[in-house]
Amino acid sequence: MTPEEAKKKIISLTKQLNDYNYYYYVLNQPKISDFDFDMKLKELEKLENEFPQFRLPESPTQRVGGEPTKDFKTVRHSIPMLSLSNSYSKEDLYEFTNRIKKTIGFEPEYVTELKFDGLSISLSYSNGIFFQAVTRGDGEKGDDVTNNVKTIKSIPLKLRGNYPETLEIRGEIYMPHKVFERLNKEKEEIGETPFANPRNAAAGSLKLQDPNEVADRGLEAFFYYIPIKIEGINTHYELLQNAKKWGFRVSNHMALCKNINEIFEFIDDWDKERYNLPFDIDGIVIKVNDLKIQEQLGYTAKFPRWAIAYKFKAERVETKLLSIDYQVGRTGAVTPVANLKPVQLAGSTVKRASLHNADIIAQLDVRIGDTVYVEKGGEIIPKIVGVNLNKRPKDALQVKFIKNCPECGTPLVRKEGESAWYCPNEEGCPPQIKGKLEHFISRKAMNINSLGEGKIEMLYDNNLVSNIADLYDLTFDMLIGLEKIISSTEGKKSKKISFREKTTQNILNGIEQSKSVPFPRVLYAIGIRYVGETVAKKLAYHYKNIDTLMNATYDELINVDEIGDKIAQSIVEYFSKKEHINIINRLKAKGIQFSIETDIKKTKTSDKLKDLQFVVSGVFKNYSRDEIKNIIEDNGGKIVSSISSRTNYIIAGNNMGPVKKEKADRLGIPIISEEELAKMISLR
Ligand code: IVH
């Protein structure tokens, strides 16, 4: 392809893909399948790598790829980010509208909107191109989170249509319920404390250092305020409709209200309907529509006088606490769960509620037989928030947190500074054993999908497996003919699982295939507490193999990027147990991957690059920049930071700067990819 043709194609693909995104995210009208979208994105990515000089700033390939940020830069807002005054009752709203009526002499039109429960963000655009995203911070100054916000696919990198030359727009970043549930499930699986609610999860995600990880968090955004004047636009409603045309995601759930009764109608509808939304709202925002009237009403030191937030009361009901169950998870953590007299709350029947831990039970002084208050606020799982002491029966039983594991009887232990009690009988406690096996075979770990929860239970019940290494000792004869009837539960029929020839072979094949699962996932699969997918990846690439990791001291571990005290302690503790070393040795003997083996590293030390000078630029697919540098040095090459006539090669990833590219072209220095570097090492 000639450069001219490539340029044309890059421009057209960028526009097409951005259009598809707009239809999908803003208008909710998908125009193309995910597969076709990905194919086009790949095509664009390939062309941009070949002709980086034609890559456009609004290219969809530029959403992820920014460098990790250690500390976010503090930025002053050009226009302060004010908050809203809150109201909790309809009387407060009467006061608000009456005050306005008195100031301007008549009843103005209002816009009512949902009050999204997330984090406010301010985006800036210049000539239609997105250039900065800043958090609210203290209202005067916030954190520059541009690279992280870029990963939110519904946020336009380039505006559409007839947009103003400069634009600042404000909105809310939030985490949808589905994503929140998935994230917390993953956290629980690795023994981390789950996020309390979607807002906290969104806040934590937006402040992650690596944009690649933020991209995985599925954040979303709605926009609701433009703090600048735009010629020809006279109302807030028109502003938002225009914002939609420019490419922003604006909620359709808003209304124009002529009087307070229409405002109340909107509030009452959404107080009920809010439970059917796929995200959290915590109230309704009421704004004067006319921008001139807004200006006339002005601001107090903290709030606009033309808007107010009406906060919903968290829905709360009373019911009786019947008993408390204790559940033991994969990590041995014991969670108390309240059994309640069934009660209707926020559109569903609630029978169980979270009690979190022993401290919360003591704090609430909740007793069996008590009438308790149950609330469904931002959180998905209802929780007990208090006790109606007036209704306490004389014989209400004080709750004594159990001292022994409900599953295996072992005395529970509690670590200093932690609120959860644990069953320490890792090797003998059934839910811990089964939980660890289930985690090991799960999709993101060893991905043995021919096994599942039911089959694991059968293997365990038949004394065929009691740890992850046992899976690799299973034989055809051990499995064939195993049977189990799963009795019917609510709404589900009873089911018989039996291992016939095909099932047995599938299971054994799945186990065999898992031997090629790469080291980072194996490290995640073995289930060290606090070592989730990302941490496992970091550790695997840092230590390269399990033996080096096993021998790492606490002090060494804590010096690895993003490894903190809790993780370091947990790793040291894990490898100090001979049972674990035994399991790892057995897995090793069966051929499980316990080191990073890639083409590029097989020839790890050589002098194939002797006397050659390299400049490394951009973001790479398979390695971090430091890893590329190490590989070059391990093979005798020299790294230099700037291009000169003595430079032999430039290793370029995504995002190589245009200045470097221009200089390399001028001096005739070849620009090669990480794959080409790999070839140089193994083929020369
Ligand atoms: S308008 C100057 N509209 O609520 C007025 N805010 O408690 C700017 N929020 O800081 C805000 N949904 O983070 C506005 N539809 C909405 C909103 C909204 C959520 C948040 C925003 C604000 C906070 C005030």
pLDDT tens sequence across 632-647: 888 888 988 888 888 8
Residue with tokens 């608000």: 96
pLDDT at 490 over 70: no
What residue's CA is closest to ligand 1, atom 23?
A: 83
* φ and ψ at residue 196, rounded to 5 degrees: -70, -35
Question: In terms of domains, do 248 and 221 share one?
Answer: yes
CA distances in angstroms from 549 to 613, 626, 631, listed in the order given: 32, 19, 20
Which atom of ligand 1 lies nearest, measured to the CA of 119? 13
Q: Using most ligand atoms within 8 A of CB, pick from 172, 222, 251 the residue to mutate for ligand 1.
A: 172
For residue 272, how far is its CA from the centre of ligand 1 (angstroms)? 21
Q: Answer whether residue 604 is part of any domain.
A: no
* Residue 576: CATH number of its domain: 1.10.150.20
DSSP characters for 566-599? HHHHHHHHHHT-HHHHHHHHHHHHTT---B---H
Task: Using a pLDDT cut of 90, give the percent of the chain over it.
Answer: 63
Which atom of ligand 1 lies nearest, measured to the CA of 115? 12
CB atoms within 10 A of CB 52: 18
Which atom of ligand 1 lies nearest, measured to the CA of 304? 2
Question: In terms of domains, do 493 and 577 share one?
Answer: no
Three-state SS at 641: coil
Strand pairing class (220-225; 166-174): antiparallel
Nearest alpha-carbon partner for 308 in 555, 96, 552: 96
Question: In terms of domains, do 494 and 435 share one?
Answer: yes
The answer to whether 211 and 150 have CB atoms below 8 angstroms apart is yes
Minimum mean pLDDT among 17-26, 229-238, 311-320, 661-670: which range? Answer: 661-670
pTM of the predicted structure, to 2 decimals: 0.69
The answer to whether 306 and 297 have CB atoms below 8 angstroms apart is yes
- Pocket (CB within 6 angstroms of ligand 1): 82-84, 113, 115-116, 120, 172, 224-225, 285, 304, 307, 309
Question: In terms of domains, do 533 and 565 share one?
Answer: yes
Q: Answer whether residue 139 is part of any domain.
A: yes
Q: Using most ligand atoms within 8 A of CB, pick from 285, 306, 308 the residue to mutate for ligand 1.
A: 285
For residue 324, how far is its CA from the centre of ligand 1 (angstroms)? 40
Question: In terms of domains, do 136 and 213 share one?
Answer: yes
Q: Using most ligand atoms within 8 A of CB, pick from 79, 82, 115, 263 the residue to mutate for ligand 1.
A: 115
CB atoms within 10 A of CB 490: 4
> What tokens were used for 537?
């990846």
> What tokens were used for 399?
């709750």
Q: Using most ligand atoms within 8 A of CB, pick from 224, 252, 253 the residue to mutate for ligand 1.
A: 224
Tally of domains within the chain: 6
Three-state SS at 496: strand
pLDDT at 501 over 80: yes
Q: Taking residues 77-86, what's their average pLDDT?
A: 93
What residue's CA is closest to ligand 1, atom 10?
A: 83
Question: In terms of domains, do 103 and 236 share one?
Answer: yes
For residue 244, how far is its CA from the centre of ligand 1 (angstroms)? 18
Which atom of ligand 1 lies nearest, measured to the CA of 117? 19
Which atom of ligand 1 lies nearest, measured to the CA of 113? 15
Q: Taking residues 67-82, what's their average pLDDT?
A: 84
Q: Answer whether residue 67 is part of any domain.
A: no
For residue 117, how far is its CA from the centre of ligand 1 (angstroms)? 9
What residue's CA is closest to ligand 1, atom 18?
A: 115
Supply the pLDDT for residue 635. Answer: 85
What residue's CA is closest to ligand 1, atom 14?
A: 224
Residue-averaged pLDDT of the chain: 90
Count H helices and E strands in the chain, helices first. Answer: 25, 26
Three-state SS at 58: coil
Strand residues in 1-154 grouped as ranges (E): 74-76, 86-87, 110-116, 119-126, 129-135, 141-143
> What tokens were used for 438?
């289930």
For residue 287, how far is its CA from the centre of ligand 1 (angstroms)? 10
For residue 114, how far is its CA from the centre of ligand 1 (angstroms)? 9
> What tokens were used for 241?
């409709």
For residue 116, how far is its CA from the centre of ligand 1 (angstroms)? 8
CB atoms within 10 A of CB 50: 13
Residue with tokens 């370029």: 652
Task: Using a pLDDT cut of 70, give the percent of the chain over it.
Answer: 95
DSSP state of 154: T
Q: Answer whether residue 263 is part of any domain.
A: yes
Question: In terms of domains, do 100 and 140 share one?
Answer: yes
For residue 113, how far is its CA from the centre of ligand 1 (angstroms)? 10
* φ and ψ at residue 670, rounded to 5 degrees: -65, 140
* Residue 15: CATH number of its domain: 1.10.287.610
From CA 258, how far away is CA 264, in angstroms rounded? 11
What residue's CA is closest to ligand 1, atom 1?
A: 225
Q: Answer whether residue 69 is part of any domain.
A: no
Asked which of 450, 481, 516 is the last residue of a domain, the reply is: 516
Strand residues in 265-420 grouped as ranges (E): 281-288, 307-311, 315-328, 333-345, 348-354, 367-368, 371-376, 383-387, 397-398, 413-414
Cα angle vertex 472, ends 468, 475, to 5°? 130
* Through-space distance between the first and last CA atoms of the chain, rounded to whole angstroms: 29
Task: Give the type of residue at 518.
Answer: P
For residue 578, how far is its CA from the centre of ligand 1 (angstroms)? 55
* φ and ψ at residue 55, rounded to 5 degrees: -65, 135
Question: In terms of domains, do 100 and 178 share one?
Answer: yes
Question: In terms of domains, do 482 and 524 share one?
Answer: no
What residue's CA is closest to ligand 1, atom 9?
A: 115
pLDDT at 240 over 80: yes
* Residue 301: CATH number of its domain: 3.30.470.30
From CA 196, how far away is CA 376, in angstroms rounded? 12
The residues that bridge with 616 in the sheet, in sequence order, are 651
Which atom of ligand 1 lies nearest, measured to the CA of 114? 15
Q: Using most ligand atoms within 8 A of CB, pick from 87, 120, 297 the residue to mutate for ligand 1.
A: 120
Question: In terms of domains, do 371 and 405 share one?
Answer: yes
Three-state SS at 555: helix
Torsion of CA 443, 447, 448, 454, to 10 degrees: -20
Model pLDDT for residues 563-620, shown as the tens digit of each residue: 889 899 999 999 999 999 999 999 999 999 999 865 444 445 788 888 899 999 877 7
Q: Taking residues 227-236, what's their average pLDDT?
A: 95
> What tokens were used for 115?
């009050």
What are 621-629's contacts with CB under 8 Å, separation 24+?
621/653, 621/654, 621/674, 622/598, 622/674, 623/674, 624/541, 625/653, 627/541, 628/674, 628/677
Supply the pLDDT for residue 682. Answer: 66
Question: In terms of domains, do 37 and 20 share one?
Answer: yes
The residues that bridge with 174 in the sheet, in sequence order, are 220
What residue's CA is closest to ligand 1, atom 17?
A: 115
The answer to whether 132 and 146 have CB atoms below 8 angstroms apart is yes
CB atoms within 10 A of CB 140: 11
Which atom of ligand 1 lies nearest, measured to the CA of 227? 2
Quickly state the pLDDT bin for 79 (edges 50, 70, 90).
very high
Which atom of ligand 1 lies nearest, measured to the CA of 303? 2
Q: Answer whether residue 49 is part of any domain.
A: yes
Asked which of 516, 541, 568 is the last residue of a domain, the reply is: 516
What are 324-328's contacts with CB under 8 Å, separation 24+?
324/355, 324/361, 324/368, 324/399, 325/406, 326/402, 326/406, 327/431, 328/405, 328/406, 328/407, 328/423, 328/429, 328/431, 328/432
CA distances in angstroms from 579 to 19, 398, 428, 470, 524, listed in the order given: 56, 39, 12, 13, 18
Q: Taking residues 537-554, what's their average pLDDT?
A: 94
For residue 83, how far is its CA from the centre of ligand 1 (angstroms)? 6
Of the candidates 90, 102, 115, 660, the residue annotated as catalytic is: 115
Q: Answer whether residue 156 is part of any domain.
A: yes
Q: Find the domain containing 45 and state its range.
A: 3-62
Q: Answer whether residue 68 is part of any domain.
A: no
Question: In terms of domains, do 414 and 441 share one?
Answer: no
pLDDT at 380 over 70: no
Asked which of 392, 421, 450 is the last residue of a domain, the reply is: 421
* Residue 391: CATH number of its domain: 2.40.50.140
115 is catalytic: yes
Minimum mean pLDDT among 145-159, 204-218, 241-255, 535-549: which range? Answer: 204-218
Contacts of 521 (CB under 8 A, 6+ apart): 444, 445, 446, 447, 533, 536
Model pLDDT for residues 399-422, shown as the tens digit of each residue: 999 999 999 999 999 987 778 899
From CA 235, how far away is CA 290, in angstroms rounded? 5
Quickly state the pLDDT bin for 190 (edges 50, 70, 90).
confident
pLDDT at 492 over 90: no
Quickly state the pLDDT bin for 474 (edges 50, 70, 90).
very high
